Amino acid sequence: MPLFINRDQIFAHQVHLLEHKLRSKEERILELETENALLHLRLAEKHDLSELFAVYVSFATELEEQSKQLLEKVEQANSSLNSHSEDGFQLQVRVAALEHSLEEERENCRAERRKRKELHNTLLRGNIRVHCRVRPVLPFDQIQSSTSGSSASSEEVVHAVSDDTVMVNCVKAGMLVQNKMFEFEVHGPEDSQKAVFKEVKSLLTSLLDYNVCIMAYGQTGSGKTHTMMGSQFLDEPSGTQQEAQQGIIPKAAAELFLISEKPAESHTVEVSVMEVYNNEVFDLLARDEHSNAAGQRRDVITTASGASQVPSLTYPVSNASEVMQIISSVLKLRAHCPTLVHADSSRSHLIVTLTVSSKSPNAVALARRLQSAKMDMRRSTQKEWWSPRCRRANLAAHHSADETSASPASSPCSTPSLSPCPSPRNSITQTPFRTKLQLVDLAGSECAGDAKLLVMLCVSPTQRFITESLQSLGFGTRARQVQKEPPRRKNNSLKVK
Ligand SMILES: Nc1ncnc2c1ncn2[C@@H]1O[C@H](COP(=O)(O)OP(=O)(O)OP(=O)(O)O)[C@@H](O)[C@H]1O
């Protein structure tokens, strides 16, 4: 392109020169005319008109010749200028074609990425999917960095470079920047709640066949509550929230009632809300003797099959807004305490479980659970819990069919783990789990075996939290490598008693 402009300029310059020459010739003509007039005078003096005429004619011929030549040159310059414009037009057409094919390549690339993602989710990995959400730099990041006195700490170092790669700029004093790359399904700072849920939604279609667990993991202030509940949820006493603000739990609840067609006729849905605080489990739906909501401590019990369960209270619900009203009514019971990072930090792990039970007349006592957990990195000390727990949960999955078939077919409490008062008919051994409690004992079979698990890593983007962010990303990388047994569908036809 720059070459084209130069050539244009050259031709314009040539035209300018030729015009200049033309002007000088015109001046010359004027001079000659003056001279001619003088000659006329002389001729008049000498009476030699014929000689004067001959000179005049020769000058005129010469001038005519020169003018012709000049005109030819101007025409040549004009035509070459036009041919250049045609070249420019051709170039523009080529550029447009190249841009078009580039866009096509981009689209191909996006399609390949989508295929790669699907392959990752279905073939290459176990049934643990790991997503990572990098939150935007927020005003409180600036305030914190000004109080900590370091100008670098609010610098953005965690970047969502594509929809499957997170890059962390690791800078050590006096050393070159080292970029660390992590591969997950990535949601960047600009991604809306809707966009995040769109990627999670596909998991929920499995809900009627498998247990599904969605777990947010990250340090304080990294956006777990924002992602799971939505930021304005706690400010809304009725549990109502603008759709655009809703996090995964309200959206998943709505989706659940959509996918389980006519749920009131074919299924019952129950909700339970628990928190794990200081290694103890509290049932947030429990009520005191005056029927006031009061979180009650519950024991983790171990079934004969080795699964850990908590007999928490459940409430039947018939639509998503009921679910959210129940959750919002008990959230104020949660332990809250400001941290250096986050003024309204919830100090516990929160577990919301939706249990879908079949009411089929064929006595298929099918119960499926959608469990959503919010898990703080600092308070989940047993980081490598995946491997041993997965083995144990697989065992539990083998036995879960027996447990389910032992329950009454139409009972919504067909999963003993969630019934308020475990029935003596079921096979739970009432052994309180006395050893140090980990969140995974609660999540138990919901997280492993035949369950589908999605871990949503929540990451702060700034330099100040780079250590915690790297720890979370490392945790996600390990989780992603866990190979569990492929999910097995329940064989419903075998369970009639
Ligand atoms: N993706 C996001 N977009 C906009 N704001 C966000 C995002 N993620 C988090 N925030 C905001 O950052 C603040 C902290 O987020 P949040 O409460 O979700 O953190 P948390 O991980 O749940 O913290 P804690 O574990 O201490 O409770 C909130 O004010 C929230 O609104």
pLDDT in tens, 411-437: 322 222 222 223 322 322 333 333 334
189's enclosing H/E stretch is: none
Q: How far is the CA of 337 from the centre of ligand 1 (A)?
A: 14
Q: What are the binding residues for ATP?
A: 218-225
Domain total for the chain?
2
Task: Report how far residue 111's alpha carbon sits from residue 155's, in angstroms, rounded to the nearest whole number.
Answer: 33
- Per residue in 141-176, pLDDT (tens digit) is 877 655 555 555 788 999 999 888 999 998 766 667
Neighbour tally for 163: CB within 10 Å? 16
Side-chain half-sphere of 344: how many Cα atoms within 13 Å?
12
Q: Are 275 and 348 in contact (CB under 8 A)?
A: yes
Band of pLDDT at residue 261, cut at 50, 70 and 90: low
Query: Do the domain assignments include residue 122?
Result: no
Q: Based on the fold, state whether residues 24 and 142 are members of the same structural domain.
A: no
Kindly state the tokens that stand for 136: 């935007």
More confident residue, 393 or 92: 92
Tell me what the mean pLDDT of segment 336-364 comes to. 65
Does the beta carbon of 222 lie inside 6 Å of ligand 1?
Answer: yes
Q: How far is the CA of 135 from the centre of ligand 1 (A)?
A: 8
Residue ranges of E strands in 69-110: none
Q: Based on the fold, state whether residues 284 and 247 are members of the same structural domain.
A: yes
Q: Based on the fold, state whether residues 223 and 84 are members of the same structural domain.
A: no
Q: Based on the fold, state whether residues 17 and 140 are members of the same structural domain.
A: no
Please give the residue range of the domain that contains residue 14: 2-108
Q: Are 433 and 309 in contact (CB under 8 A)?
A: no
Query: Do the domain assignments include residue 113?
Result: no
Instruction: Name the closest-CA residue to atom 13, ligand 1.
Output: 221
Query: What is the rounded end-to-end Cα distance, in angstroms, of the chain?
Result: 81
Question: What is the best residue among 225, 234, 344, 458 to mutate for testing ligand 1's pocket, by most ligand atoms within 8 Å of CB?
Answer: 225
Handedness of CA 30, 36, 38, 40 (dihedral sign): negative
Question: What is the percentage of the chain residues whose pLDDT exceeds 90?
Answer: 10
Q: Are 450 and 125 in contact (CB under 8 A)?
A: no
3-class DSSP assignment, residue 213: strand
CATH of the domain at 460: 3.40.850.10
Q: Based on the fold, state whether residues 104 and 170 are members of the same structural domain.
A: no
Does the beta carbon of 220 lie inside 6 Å of ligand 1?
Answer: yes
Q: Based on the fold, state whether residues 9 and 95 are members of the same structural domain.
A: yes
Cα angle for residues 232, 202, 206 (degrees, 5° grid) = 110
Residue 444 scores a pLDDT above 80: no
Q: Based on the fold, state whether residues 163 and 299 are members of the same structural domain.
A: yes
- Per residue in 331-344, pLDDT (tens digit) is 776 655 555 555 55
Q: What is the pLDDT of residue 433?
A: 30
Query: Do the domain assignments include residue 114?
Result: no
- Per residue in 450-468, pLDDT (tens digit) is 677 888 999 999 988 899 9
Encoded amino acid at 403, one letter: E
Helices (H), 173-261: 193-204, 224-228, 248-259
Task: Report how far residue 143's alpha carbon sits from residue 30's, in angstroms, rounded to the nearest whole number.
Answer: 82
Does the beta carbon of 349 lie inside 6 Å of ligand 1?
Answer: no
Q: How far is the CA of 143 from the centre of ligand 1 (A)?
A: 15
Q: From 77, 108, 139, give the residue that closes a domain.
A: 108
Q: Based on the fold, state whether residues 103 and 132 are members of the same structural domain.
A: no
Kindly state the tokens that stand for 366: 């099918």
Q: From 81, 108, 135, give the residue that closes a domain.
A: 108
Task: Report how far residue 61's alpha carbon sits from residue 67's, in angstroms, rounded to the nearest whole number.
Answer: 10
Q: Based on the fold, state whether residues 226 and 334 are members of the same structural domain.
A: yes
Cα angle for residues 258, 211, 220 (degrees, 5° grid) = 90
Query: Do the domain assignments include residue 82?
Result: yes
The label of the residue with tokens 């962010």 reads 469
Q: Based on the fold, state whether residues 341 and 285 are members of the same structural domain.
A: yes
Does the beta carbon of 334 lie inside 6 Å of ligand 1?
Answer: no
Kindly state the tokens that stand for 196: 């995040």
Does the beta carbon of 232 lie inside 6 Å of ligand 1?
Answer: no
Q: Based on the fold, state whether residues 230 and 146 are members of the same structural domain.
A: yes
Query: Do the domain assignments include residue 235?
Result: yes
Predicted ipTM?
0.98
The label of the residue with tokens 């996600």 reads 476
Task: Report how far residue 301's alpha carbon sits from residue 295's, in angstroms, rounded to the nearest whole number.
Answer: 18
Does the beta carbon of 376 lie inside 6 Å of ligand 1?
Answer: yes
Residue 197 scores a pLDDT above 60: yes
Query: Do the domain assignments include residue 317?
Result: yes
Query: Do the domain assignments include residue 120?
Result: no
Determine the distance from the C-alpha atom of residue 221 to the mean position of all C-alpha atoms in its chain, rounded to a whole number: 18
Does the beta carbon of 338 lie inside 6 Å of ligand 1?
Answer: no
More confident residue, 47 or 124: 47
CA dist 397 → 47, 128, 215, 306, 392 (Å) = 133, 16, 20, 10, 9
Q: How far is the CA of 221 from the centre of ligand 1 (A)?
A: 5
Q: What is the pLDDT of residue 91?
A: 86
Query: Do the domain assignments include residue 117?
Result: no
Does the beta carbon of 272 lie inside 6 Å of ligand 1?
Answer: no
Neighbour tally for 9: CB within 10 Å? 10
Q: How far is the CA of 293 from the centre of ligand 1 (A)?
A: 26
Q: Based on the fold, state whether residues 198 and 303 are members of the same structural domain.
A: yes
